[in-house]
């Protein structure tokens, strides 16, 4: 679900690949996963993954990603390596967008529908990743200081602005459901101050930053590689763990969260990277804190009118439903996880 219109047509892509990489384009196919514009490009020289980053990404940020991928490759962690340009650059700037070319790995990715038999591998490689990156230098995000800085008033003001925008679209068929979601999140966030305490004493680790099923290249029965480290940062380990499980497809058909299955996912992760009793206790609250403040999908639907806005709204609905389920069951989730130690 790319959120920006691509700057490329076939001629522009062909010219860039020839000039910068010495590749001769034969065919390109736009891929539907992710928020960037991504392509599978078949050239005389081979098949590659071509990525046009969103405007917010800088050359420096993507260069950090390429260095991280090189480091992981050196540690035998399965990744897709970046292809250097003729002049030895790992990425370039084109019409305001950073462009990179990587190895194309054959396999399948999923969007909120990861087959259950691949969940164990998902947890395994997240645990290995955290172990490998334990001492890798990264900027911190979603830490204790960040949590303390979040203002209930500011978040509620954001939802008030969105409610105001919604009222201008009162004939929209999604009006009632969007309004219900906004009112729920406003009510929830008024009680969120107590959850800030769960950011204290937990494990922070260099991590992927967006470890979801669409970032896994899979065969039928195992994960082949992890891709797209553009959001890498030092994060609460428990946030990445729970988010990866939920976004693999938990509750996607309206069912309740399977606590036992989730506990097994966490248990598999813990074979490769340790978690403390405090981590397990805090996990649902740390996840809920971040999820409750996010308006992703609603803003794109109501304010920016982004391409694929309908699909983004459906994703927002699904995430808010997850938020309701976690809110109702946070204590039970915490108790279930604490049985692992």
From CA 280, how far away is CA 263, in angstroms rounded?
10
User: Which of 51, 74, 103 delimits the end of a domain?
Assistant: 103
Domains of the chain: total: 2
Determine the pLDDT at residue 25: 96
Same domain, 142 and 59: no
Same domain, 248 and 325: yes
Determine the pLDDT at residue 3: 67
Structure pTM? Answer: 0.91
In a domain, 151, yes or no: yes
Could you give the 3-state DSSP secondary structure of residue 336?
A: helix
80 φ, ψ (degrees, to nearest 5): -100, 115
Same domain, 259 and 313: yes
Same domain, 187 and 78: no
In a domain, 211, yes or no: yes
In a domain, 319, yes or no: yes
Give every residue of the chain whose pLDDT is below 50, as ranges: none
Same domain, 179 and 91: no
Determine the pLDDT at residue 252: 75
In a domain, 192, yes or no: yes
Determine the pLDDT at residue 2: 65
295 φ, ψ (degrees, to nearest 5): -110, 20
User: Which of 103, 129, 156 delimits the end of a domain?
Assistant: 103
Determine the pLDDT at residue 35: 79
In a domain, 69, yes or no: yes
Same domain, 197 and 322: yes
3-state SS, one letter per residue, for 34-103: CCCEEEEEEECCEEEEEEECCCCCCHHHHHHHHHHHHHHHHCCCCCCCECCCCCCCCCEEECCEEEEEEE
Determine the pLDDT at residue 264: 97
- Tell me the H-state helices in the chain: 10-16, 59-74, 119-132, 144-149, 152-167, 175-189, 237-247, 259-269, 277-293, 298-302, 309-338
Q: Convert the pLDDT of each residue in 93-128 to its tens digit.
A: 999 999 999 999 999 988 888 999 999 999 999 999
From CA 215, how far away is CA 157, in angstroms rounded?
33
Determine the pLDDT at residue 229: 95
Same domain, 91 and 186: no
Tokens standing for residue 243: 């988010």
From CA 206, how far away is CA 208, in angstroms rounded?
7
In a domain, 41, yes or no: yes
Mean pLDDT of the chain: 93
Instruction: Provide the residue range defining the domain that includes 34.
Output: 10-103
């Amino acid at each position: 679900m790319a959120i920006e219109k691509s700057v490329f047509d076939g001629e522009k892509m062909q010219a860039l690949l020839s000039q910068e990489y010495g590749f001769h384009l034969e065919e390109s196919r736009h891929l539907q996963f992710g928020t960037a514009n991504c392509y599978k490009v078949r050239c005389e020289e081979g098949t590659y993954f071509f990525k046009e980053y969103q405007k917010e990404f800088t050359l420096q940020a993507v260069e950090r990603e390429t260095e991280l991928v090189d480091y992981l490759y050196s540690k035998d962690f399965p990744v897709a390596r970046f292809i250097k340009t003729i002049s030895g650059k790992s990425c370039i700037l084109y019409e305001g967008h950073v462009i990179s070319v990587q190895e194309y790995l054959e396999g399948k990715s999923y969007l909120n529908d990861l087959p259950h038999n691949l969940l164990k591998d998902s947890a395994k490689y997240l645990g290995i990743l955290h172990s490998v990156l334990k001492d890798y230098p990264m900027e911190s995000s979603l830490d204790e200081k960040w949590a303390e800085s979040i203002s209930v008033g500011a978040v509620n003001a954001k939802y008030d602005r969105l409610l105001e925008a919604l009222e201008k679209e009162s004939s929209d068929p999604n009006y009632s459901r969007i309004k219900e979601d906004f009112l729920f999140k406003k009510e929830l966030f008024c009680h969120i101050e107590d959850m800030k305490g769960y950011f204290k004493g937990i494990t922070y680790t260099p991590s992927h930053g967006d470890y979801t099923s669409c970032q896994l290249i899979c065969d039928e029965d195992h994960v082949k590689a992890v891709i797209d480290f553009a959001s890498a940062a030092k994060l609460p380990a428990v946030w990445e763990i729970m988010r990866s499980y939920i976004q693999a497809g938990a509750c996607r058909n309206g069912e309740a969260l399977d606590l036992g299955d989730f506990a097994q996912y966490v248990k598999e992760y813990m074979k490769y990277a340790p978690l403390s009793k405090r981590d397990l206790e805090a996990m649902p609250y740390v996840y809920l804190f971040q999820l409750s403040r996010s308006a992703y999908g609603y803003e794109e639907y109501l304010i920016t009118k982004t391409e694929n806005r309908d699909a983004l709204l459906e994703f927002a609905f699904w995430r808010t439903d997850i938020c309701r389920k976690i809110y109702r069951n946070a204590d039970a989730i915490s108790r279930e996880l604490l049985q692992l130690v």
